[in-house]
Amino acid sequence: MSKVPPDILAEIKAAAKEEWPDDRDMQEHYVESETEGYLAIAETDFGVAIAVKDEILEWADDYSSLWEERASFVADEVAAYAELQEQPEGVPAEILADLKRKAAAEHDWYSSQRDEVQGGIAHFLYVRDTRAKIGPIRDLLVRMEGIIGDECYNDNIQNYGSWGVWEGEGRSFRYPVTVLRNGESEKRRSRFDDLQAEELVTGHYKFGANELSIYRALVKVIDMLEAEYGLKLPR
């Protein structure tokens, strides 16, 4: 069992008196929490993070002057470093290495790197799974959406022909599909073959402030037909 060095304990007690000069109970609570924080760091099993122990402790000193907060920081950094050494199932080694390289270039702390890498892994798995699911049925989805989109009609549209001749009210039209591509919204009425599966499934109809996720809805319809009605489609 580690012990708090006398000089560290003296500093903690002095800080407690300065922080709570007229409150004995709070002084005792402060000393207790700070000594527990110091001991937690002293007894930390760094495991695979032993190679970067000094770095983590230096960051902890910069992070806070309180031992309790430093202890929490150290624990998170040690865990984050260990997680960064893991090889997630289904993620190619070169993809993971690239994610780690980019995260290390953008962040110092291992906890921030871990969060960045985990976000990248989640995106990679989503794209992989979406392409695997949508790829075999994308032509069907596009055709089904086209049928639905062509069934729009507005009887308030005033139709005028050449020379301004009025030709009657109402008109059918192809409702535009809005897709998200490279973080930007695009409206389309035709040609979807240049979209990746993960972009295609973002296709939706915008009705003012409302949206109808038409492609995701069609995927759910196909899933329902396969599960409940025995529909057989190539996968």
In this predicted structure, what is the pLDDT of residue 165?
58
> Which residue ranges make up each domain of the chain?
1-85, 133-229
Average pLDDT over residues 91-107: 97
CB 178 within 8 A of CB 149: no
State how beta strands 205-207 and 184-188 pair: unpaired
pLDDT in tens, 107-162: 999 999 999 999 999 999 999 999 999 999 999 999 999 999 998 877 766 655 66
In this predicted structure, what is the pLDDT of residue 151?
86
Question: Is the model's pLDDT at 227 over the cut of 90?
Answer: yes
- Dihedral pair phi/psi, residue 190, rounded to 5°: -155, 175
Tokens representing 98 are: 């690239």
Q: Which residue has the tokens 């392409």?
A: 131
Average pLDDT over residues 210-230: 97
Indicate the average pLDDT of the chain. Answer: 92
pLDDT in tens, 150-181: 988 777 666 556 666 555 555 678 999 999 99
Helix, strand, coil percentages, rounded to 5, for the chain:
60, 15, 25
Average pLDDT over residues 54-70: 97
CB 195 within 8 A of CB 179: yes
Tokens representing 167 are: 């030709």
In this predicted structure, what is the pLDDT of residue 158?
60
In this predicted structure, what is the pLDDT of residue 183?
87
Instruction: Give 27 or 165, the one with higher predicted confidence.
Output: 27
In this predicted structure, what is the pLDDT of residue 226?
95
- Give the angle subtended at the CA of 124 by the CAs of 118 and 126, to the nearest 5°: 105
Question: Is the model's pLDDT at 194 over the cut of 70?
Answer: yes
